[in-house]
């Protein structure tokens, strides 16, 4: 197990260093002079310009600049936002719970619906039900989710008037942030009307963000179930006279879950990329909206730091999934 962890880490560390180089290069790839681009002024005082160059460390050789950047980044110093003057890391940490809450709800929705759809399709293979479910899954997989969000808003918010259009909570509620997760905070405050409001705000964004993972999980579950259902032990279970439900849900599903779990883990990237679109549409105050807003404000330290943080998170989660998978499945652990 120990060598397995070491082997995984040996891949992760170069990847992380590569990401820092990428994030570092971002600011140097901006066409034009970075100081002029950031200050947005044409006739800058040369003294002030020199001071800015020095403050940003841009008067040093490139490798020294990178080294400083790396040392600062590892210590959690990712620079300051130009528009708010706040450290990038603290802004990220403040907004991250909103994205986390949205992503968790999305992946729960995707897992429940995706698993159910996959199981139903596999057990009714070749029937109309199977074709319908798989057609729906392929449609979900092909979905431009920003458009899907608008469609759901038109139907549920505008036409039916069931759900709010944007934000996390109705303005009438005031909830003290404890965890930053609105569902938890409202419950901690024992404010059940606020909790209901938070749920209503969360439903549409979670469905939108969960749509593509749901489709992927449904397709994976189906093909993995079909493979398992052909195994001898299923025939044995059937011969023993076990009920169909028990065979499918206990004997087959348990063994079919392995690849599905991996796929769920791999959806973290999809979720974070989808969060950019979903949060923009629903004005959800998370890191996706933060990134897009800072791009349009040309707040490059935020763009740079945000991308580094998001990428680091994806690497870490993927590492975790890999390790967990190694724990569950010894064949992976011992493979070269």
Partner 1 sequence: MTEPTLTYPSPLKEFWQSFRTNKGATVALIYFALLVFAAVFAPLVAPHAPAEQYRDALLTPPAWAHDGSWRFILGTDEIGRDIFSRLLHGARLSLMIGSVSVLLSLLPGVALGLIAAFYPNAIGSFIMRLMDIMLALPSLLLAIAIVAVLGPGLGNTVLAIAVVGLPSYVRLARASAMTELNKDYVIASRLAGAGKLRLMFNTVLPNCMAPLIVQATLGFSSAILDAAALGFLGLGAPPPLPEWGTMLANARDYIQSAWWVVTMPGLAILITVLALNLMGDGLRDALDPKLKRLA
Contact set with partner 1 (CB under 8 A): 11, 14-15, 18-19, 22, 26, 29-31, 135, 138-139, 141-144, 146-148, 150-151, 153-154, 158, 222-223, 226, 269-270, 272-274, 276-277, 280-281, 291-292, 295-296, 303, 307, 310-311, 314-315, 318
The crossing angle, in degrees rounded to 10, of helices 300-328 and 287-296 is 150
Q: How far is the CB of 21 from partner 1 (least distance, A)?
A: 8
Of residues 30 and 39, the one with the C-beta less far from partner 1: 30
Name which of 148 and 195 has its Cβ closer to partner 1.
148
Nearer to partner 1 among residue 29 and residue 128 (C-beta): 29
Distance in Å, CB of 139 to partner 1, minimum: 6
CB of 18 to partner 1, least distance (A): 3
User: Cβ of residue 191: shortest distance to partner 1, in angstroms?
Assistant: 30
User: For residues 13 and 51, which CB has a smaller minimum distance to partner 1 in the complex?
Assistant: 13
Which residues in 176-214 are b (16+ Cβ under 10 Å) and which e?
A: eeeeebbbebbeeeebeebbebbebbbbbbbbbbbbbbb
Residue placing its CB nearer to partner 1 in the complex, 116 or 307: 307
Q: How far apart are CA 85 and CA 299, in angstroms?
A: 10
Question: Strand runs (DSSP E) across 240-292, as ranges?
Answer: none
For residue 14, the minimal CB distance to partner 1 (Å) is 6
């Amino acid at each position: 197990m120990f060598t397995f962890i070491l082997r995984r880490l040996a891949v992760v560390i170069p990847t992380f260093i590569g990401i820092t180089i990428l994030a570092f290069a971002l600011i140097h790839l901006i066409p034009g002079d970075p100081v002029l681009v950031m200050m947005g002024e044409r006739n800058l005082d040369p003294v002030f310009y020199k001071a800015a160059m020095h403050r940003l460390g841009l008067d040093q050789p490139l490798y020294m600049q990178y080294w400083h950047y790396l040392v600062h980044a590892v210590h959690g110093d990712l620079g300051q936002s130009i528009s708010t003057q706040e450290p990038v890391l603290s802004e990220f940490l403040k907004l991250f719970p909103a994205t986390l809450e949205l992503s968790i709800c999305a992946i729960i929705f995707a897992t429940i619906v995706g698993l159910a759809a996959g199981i139903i399709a596999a057990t009714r293979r070749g029937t109309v039900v199977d074709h319908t479910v798989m057609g729906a899954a392929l449609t979900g997989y092909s979905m431009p989710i920003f458009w899907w969000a608008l469609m759901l808003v038109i139907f549920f918010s505008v036409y039916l008037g069931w759900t709010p259009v944007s934000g996390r909570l109705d303005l009438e509620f005031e909830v003290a942030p404890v965890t930053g997760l609105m569902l938890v905070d409202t419950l901690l405050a024992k404010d059940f009307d606020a909790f209901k409001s938070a749920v209503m705000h969360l439903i549409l964004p979670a469905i939108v963000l969960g749509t593509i993972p749901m489709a992927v999980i449904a397709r994976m579950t189906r093909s993995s179930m079909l493979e398992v259902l052909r195994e001898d032990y299923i025939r044995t279970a059937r011969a023993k006279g076990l009920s169909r439900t028990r065979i499918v849900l206990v004997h087959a599903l348990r063994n079919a879950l392995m690849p599905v779990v991996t796929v769920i883990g791999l959806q973290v990237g999809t979720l974070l990329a989808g969060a950019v679109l979903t949060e923009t549409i629903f004005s959800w105050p998370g890191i996706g909206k933060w990134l897009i807003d800072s791009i349009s404000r040309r707040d490059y330290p935020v763009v740079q730091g945000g991308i580094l943080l998001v990428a680091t998170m994806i690497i870490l989660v993927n590492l975790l999934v890999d390790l967990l998978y190694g724990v569950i499945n010894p064949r992976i652990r011992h493979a070269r």
